[in-house]
Structure 1
Amino acid sequence: MSLARNALVQATLTLGSRILGFARDLFLSARFGQGPMMDAFTTALMLPNMFRRLFAEGAFAQAFVPIYGGVRAREGEEAAAVTASEALSFIFAVVAGFCIAAQVVMPWLMPFLLSAWKDDAGVMFAATTAAQLTMPYLACMTIASLLSGVLNTSGRFALSAGVPVFLNLCTLAPLVAPSLIEIDQATLLYAVSAAVTVSGVIQAGLLWWGVRRLGIRVNLHWPRMTAGVARTLKLAIPGVLAGGALQLNSVVSQLLTGSNEGARSVLYNADRLYQLPLGLVGVAIGLALVPRLTRAFVSGDHEGGRRTLDDGVTLSMAFTLPAAVALFVIPFFIIDATVTRGAFTSQDAARTADVLRQFAWGVPAFVLAKVLTPPFFAREDTRRPMIFSVSSVVVTVVLGSALFFGLQAAGMDGVLGLAIATSVSAWVNVGLLGGTLLREKAWSVSGRFASKFSRVLLASAVMAAVLVPASLYYRELSRLFLAKEIAVLVVCGLGALVYGVCLVLFRAVSVSELKATLRREPGASSPAGLD
């Protein structure tokens, strides 16, 4: 498939998952508001997600893909399957042991993670139990992530992009089940937390089936330190250190917000919205880039690698900039119209919107980092991304802590400081990644790229001009369209229409180019039922 086609498969299926995830978050907010049970759930979900990014979807998985792809190209499918089995067995054993240890120490760990409620024994017990119920999800996602790498390397993106929908389906089920409507919040928290782990089992099982359907025999066996595992670890260790630094940043943010009632829920709701373009665009294009760049570098096609990266940056910004503009210009409109109901008030929406606006201007950098990192991993260079990540994390921790306490001392919301620091550090990371690639000529800013990017910026500016009046007359628009939910759909639809028209008018994109980028590459094939 072409890069755009692969990214479109990823983004389309991810969009379906995110829509269901958004529905889940609406029910969570309506049932829990920004109270102790919502803080408890976000903490329970934070732990497996944080370590999943480190162990499963982080450095180990990124280091595994180019190694697996190289073995597959040089030695064939059978040797690649052996490499995958060895890597899977080793990392699964490590992560499973870690999950068990985390469950054992959770009663002593939770008062530090959720210090705002440490004197409430009921909240502490509920939060601890919820975290213990969600931890096995990490082990399941370790299997799922590595199997997704096998599928993606084989050019199969649909199944790996589609299975995350089960996290949202499973967690949504207890929130809407009629039999659970009247139960107390703690019991509902346990049901939703258990559903997280159930979804992990389903995802891992479906991906296992997908790999077997391709005829690739990946198996779990007693872990051994083989040459393939050692090589993967050698590449992964710098990435693990970088990921550890990134997770340290997350831990610092969580500890700071854990001392402020409701702050963690604010951060969670803002995070879910600004992560939407990252998941739809950055991750989709990043996953599509790694196999293509690996093939280019293995075959010595450096010019092809540069063109692929050029296309990836252009494509990612064309989809990301309008989303960032909307999140910056009309954050309260979006949150109040969609989330405010039940226990979640307009005051909660206003606080979340202020934080979201500070994340919004960092969204392009979050996406660019996902696009600019694969060229390093494709060349088996994990050391420098580690250095860049650590540098950006230092910025986040130092600046975020200073702003958090400084703003609180000034009578303002300290969470704003964490959002500002996160966006600043993201741009620092992009500057380091992009500057290195440009300096080494792994990527060059061509005249064609500069022209198209400037036209995308102009189209985004026109869209922003259309959205500004909507942010000023939110109440009036809600009355005009009879409901705030209808109003936000109309405004967002109008913004998207204006942006799309401007792209064509300014000649940032043409119909023929869209057809060319979405065309299946010669020789691509796809077994029925997978793509």
Structure 2
Amino acid sequence: MSVLRNTLTQSSWTFGSRILGFARDLVILAKLGAGPVADAFFTALMFPNLFRRVFAEGAFAQAFVPAYARTMEAEGEEAARKLAEETLRGLLAVTVGLVIVAQVAMPWIMLLLHGGYRNDPVHFPLAILLTQITMPYLAFMALAALLSGVLNSAGRFGMSAGAPTLLNLCLLAAAFMGSDNYAVAQSLAIAVTVAGALQVALLWYGVSRQKVRLSIGLPKITPGVKRVAALAIPGTIAASGMQINIVVSQALASFEAGAKSWLYSADRLYQLPLGLVGVAVGLAILPRLARAARASDEGDSRDIMDNGIGLAMALTVPAAAALMAAPFLFVDSFFTRGDFTSDDAALTAQALFHFGWGVPAFVLIKVLAPGFFAREDTRTPMNFSLISVVVNTVLGAGLFFFLKSQGVYGFPGLAIATSTAAWINVILLFATLKRRDWYNPGPELLKRLVSVILASSALGALLWYLASISGQISEVALDSKFVGAIVISLAGAAAYLVFAVLFGAIRLSDMKGALRR
């Protein structure tokens, strides 16, 4: 199977999953609105989102897949199967243990994650119950990540890329069950755990078809498991920094009714470029960087990083410009329906604006970290990730309570803190790569970044104008705000392509070369 086919398979399923996820969120927000019940459910959804992003998109696979592939090359299929089985057993023991502890300790955990509702006799217990229902997804997601790694090592990408769509399908179905929003929230929580079980069942079937027979039993700490854990633990912490920052922000947001729902809605929009661009580029350049590092080819390493950063910024900076230029247009057009009102959209837009200028940093972290992973240094990104968590916590709490003391909403301060912490992480990663002579950007990259900023600024100005006349555009677009926003988005995408070519941010030859690779 060719690299192009693998990439297209992964990207197609990822894009499809994101579209389904977007539809899922439209329905959930319409059913739950923005309020205490929605805040309770989004608290319960924090853990599934955290572990999905950490295990499925984080460093666990980056540690396991190379170890599995090396073992297969050096010792054969049976040794690789044994490593997978030993890792699976250890992973299952750890995650099941965490789930059991969390189930018992959930009332106390909720004091940290949902403390603003601690005196609410209805909605605080609801958050505890919903999170207890969703917690088993942690164990299922860990197993799914390992099984996906086995399939990917065998060149099978379709099933592992398609499995996450089961979560979106289950949640979409569950959103229509229940007579009121309390019943809907419980149906949604049950659907999360059911989806996790279905994902594992599907991937287990896929692994069995590859004639890799795994079994569940008592864990053993073998040298192979130790090797995977030594790379995976710090690497996973490094990949978790942004997700931990989101959890911290959500915990602080519980002290403001509705804030969790507004932050979650903003999260769904700004996560789209991160998932489609940052993760994809980071995974694409890692193996090439590893080969260059083993060959001590610094020139090739620099070219790979330059190309990765240039491509990521050419696709991400315009997304940031769009989110900052017209945040209310996108939120109101896509999410306002049912119990989610235009007032909720206006408040969500405040958070989305501040997340917008952090989007390039969120993506750059995914692109710069492979510069360390390729040299088997997962501890340095972990340390910087932990620093960003401290910055986000201190700055977020300070801004949140300061703004509330001024008589205004405090949750925009949480978005400001998250974006600031991400940029500090980027600065630390880049400065360390440069100091160690692992990466020094070439002059062509600097010229390209200037071109990207100019093209994105032009796009932002255009979208700001189109947002100001969005009412007239909607009138001729089937009298629908949703259709009007789609028209404006397509017009912006076409305009950016023109601006990018004019300013030199994107060259057609580069796009063809990237596609061939």
Q: TM-score by structure 1 length? A: 0.90
Structure 1: how far apart are the matches of 2:449 and 2:206? 38
Partner of 2:20: 20
Corresponding position: 1:516 with 2:513 = yes
Give the stretch that moved more between structures: 13-22 or 217-226: 217-226
Using the TM superposition, give the Cα deviation of residue 365 of structure 1 relative to its aligned residue in structure 2, in angstroms.
0.5
Deviation digits for residues 394-415 of structure 1 (CA, Å, limit 9, x no counterpart): 2111111111111111122211
Structure 1: how far apart are the matches of 2:81 and 2:331? 46
Structure 2: how far apart are the matches of 1:241 and 1:282? 17
Change in CA separation of 1:206 and 1:312 when aligned onto 2, cut-off 3 Å: farther
What is the letter of the counterpart of residue 165 of structure 2?
V
Deviation digits for residues 273-315 of structure 1 (CA, Å, limit 9, x no counterpart): 1111111111122223333433444565554444333322222
Partner of 1:447: 443
Using the TM superposition, give the Cα deviation of residue 208 of structure 1 relative to its aligned residue in structure 2, in angstroms.
2.7
Which of 389, 392, 399 is the equivalent residue of 2:395? 399
**Matches of residues 61-460 of structure 1 in structure 2 within 5 Å?**
61-176=61-176, 180=177, 183-239=179-235, 242=238, 249-298=245-294, 303-460=299-456
Change in CA separation of 1:437 and 1:100 when aligned onto 2, cut-off 3 Å: same
Using the TM superposition, give the Cα deviation of residue 27 of structure 1 relative to its aligned residue in structure 2, in angstroms.
1.1
What is the letter of the counterpart of residue 498 of structure 2?
V
Deviation digits for residues 494-527 of structure 1 (CA, Å, limit 9, x no counterpart): 10001112233344434443333222x6xxxxxx
Change in CA separation of 1:356 and 1:200 when aligned onto 2, cut-off 3 Å: same
Partner of 1:42: 42
Structure 2: how far apart are the matches of 1:502 and 1:42? 39
Change in CA separation of 1:313 and 1:76 when aligned onto 2, cut-off 3 Å: farther
Using the TM superposition, give the Cα deviation of residue 184 of structure 1 relative to its aligned residue in structure 2, in angstroms.
2.1
Partner of 2:495: 498
Using the TM superposition, give the Cα deviation of residue 445 of structure 1 relative to its aligned residue in structure 2, in angstroms.
1.5
Structure 1: how far apart are the matches of 2:289 and 2:214? 24
Using the TM superposition, give the Cα deviation of residue 77 of structure 1 relative to its aligned residue in structure 2, in angstroms.
3.9
Using the TM superposition, give the Cα deviation of residue 375 of structure 1 relative to its aligned residue in structure 2, in angstroms.
2.4
What is the letter of the counterpart of residue 364 of structure 2?
L
Q: For 1:324, what is the secondary structure of its paired residue?
A: helix
Change in CA separation of 1:260 and 1:252 when aligned onto 2, cut-off 3 Å: same
What is the letter of the counterpart of residue 45 of structure 2?
L
Give the stretch that moved more between structures: 87-96 or 450-459: 450-459
Which of 481, 486, 493 is the equivalent residue of 1:484? 481
Give the stretch that moved more between structures: 64-73 or 373-382: 64-73
Q: For structure 1, which runs of at least 5 residues remain unmatched after alignment? A: 522-531
Give the stretch that moved more between structures: 378-387 or 109-118: 109-118
Using the TM superposition, give the Cα deviation of residue 60 of structure 1 relative to its aligned residue in structure 2, in angstroms.
4.0
Q: Indicate if the aligned counterparts of 1:89 and 1:221 stay in contact, CA closer than 8 A.
A: yes
Change in CA separation of 1:302 and 1:144 when aligned onto 2, cut-off 3 Å: farther
What is the letter of the counterpart of residue 94 of structure 2?
V
Deviation digits for residues 468-513 of structure 1 (CA, Å, limit 9, x no counterpart): 1123233343334322112111111110001112233344434443
Structure 2: how far apart are the matches of 1:246 and 1:285? 17
Q: Indicate if the aligned counterparts of 1:144 and 1:203 stay in contact, CA closer than 8 A.
A: yes
Structure 1: how far apart are the matches of 2:214 and 2:399? 48
Partner of 1:529: none
Which structure has more relative contact order (CA 8 Å, sep 6+)? It is 1
Using the TM superposition, give the Cα deviation of residue 368 of structure 1 relative to its aligned residue in structure 2, in angstroms.
0.8
Q: Indicate if the aligned counterparts of 2:63 and 2:231 stay in contact, CA closer than 8 A.
A: yes
Using the TM superposition, give the Cα deviation of residue 8 of structure 1 relative to its aligned residue in structure 2, in angstroms.
4.8
Structure 2: how far apart are the matches of 1:57 and 1:222? 27
Change in CA separation of 1:208 and 1:339 when aligned onto 2, cut-off 3 Å: same
Q: Indicate if the aligned counterparts of 1:274 and 1:356 stay in contact, CA closer than 8 A.
A: yes
Change in CA separation of 1:128 and 1:246 when aligned onto 2, cut-off 3 Å: same
Partner of 1:525: none
Using the TM superposition, give the Cα deviation of residue 337 of structure 1 relative to its aligned residue in structure 2, in angstroms.
0.8
Using the TM superposition, give the Cα deviation of residue 321 of structure 1 relative to its aligned residue in structure 2, in angstroms.
1.4
Give the stretch that moved more between structures: 352-361 or 501-510: 501-510
Q: Indicate if the aligned counterparts of 2:95 and 2:138 stay in contact, CA closer than 8 A.
A: yes
Q: Indicate if the aligned counterparts of 2:46 and 2:247 stay in contact, CA closer than 8 A.
A: no
Q: For 1:145, what is the secondary structure of its paired residue?
A: helix
Q: For 1:121, what is the secondary structure of its paired residue?
A: coil
Q: Indicate if the aligned counterparts of 1:3 and 1:285 stay in contact, CA closer than 8 A.
A: no
Structure 2: how far apart are the matches of 1:211 and 1:149? 10
Give the stretch that moved more between structures: 357-366 or 37-46: 37-46
Q: TM-score by structure 2 length? A: 0.92
Q: Indicate if the aligned counterparts of 1:405 and 1:414 stay in contact, CA closer than 8 A.
A: yes
Q: For 2:122, what is the secondary structure of its paired residue?
A: helix
Using the TM superposition, give the Cα deviation of residue 2 of structure 1 relative to its aligned residue in structure 2, in angstroms.
8.3
Partner of 1:524: none
Using the TM superposition, give the Cα deviation of residue 175 of structure 1 relative to its aligned residue in structure 2, in angstroms.
1.7
Q: Indicate if the aligned counterparts of 1:13 and 1:161 stay in contact, CA closer than 8 A.
A: yes
Give the stretch that moved more between structures: 371-380 or 261-270: 371-380
Structure 1: how far apart are the matches of 2:215 and 2:291? 25
Q: Indicate if the aligned counterparts of 1:48 and 1:134 stay in contact, CA closer than 8 A.
A: yes
Using the TM superposition, give the Cα deviation of residue 154 of structure 1 relative to its aligned residue in structure 2, in angstroms.
4.6
Give the stretch that moved more between structures: 134-143 or 436-445: 436-445
Percent sequence identity is: 51
Structure 2: how far apart are the matches of 1:283 and 1:372? 11
Corresponding position: 1:461 with 2:466 = no
Structure 2: how far apart are the matches of 1:5 and 1:427? 34
Structure 1: how far apart are the matches of 2:194 and 2:148? 18
Using the TM superposition, give the Cα deviation of residue 242 of structure 1 relative to its aligned residue in structure 2, in angstroms.
4.6
What is the letter of the counterpart of residue 501 of structure 2?
V
Count of aligned residue pairs for this structure pair: 516
Structure 1: how far apart are the matches of 2:149 and 2:332? 38
Partner of 1:526: none
Q: For structure 2, which runs of at least 5 residues remain unmatched after alignment? A: none
Partner of 1:527: none
RMSD, matched Cα: 2.6
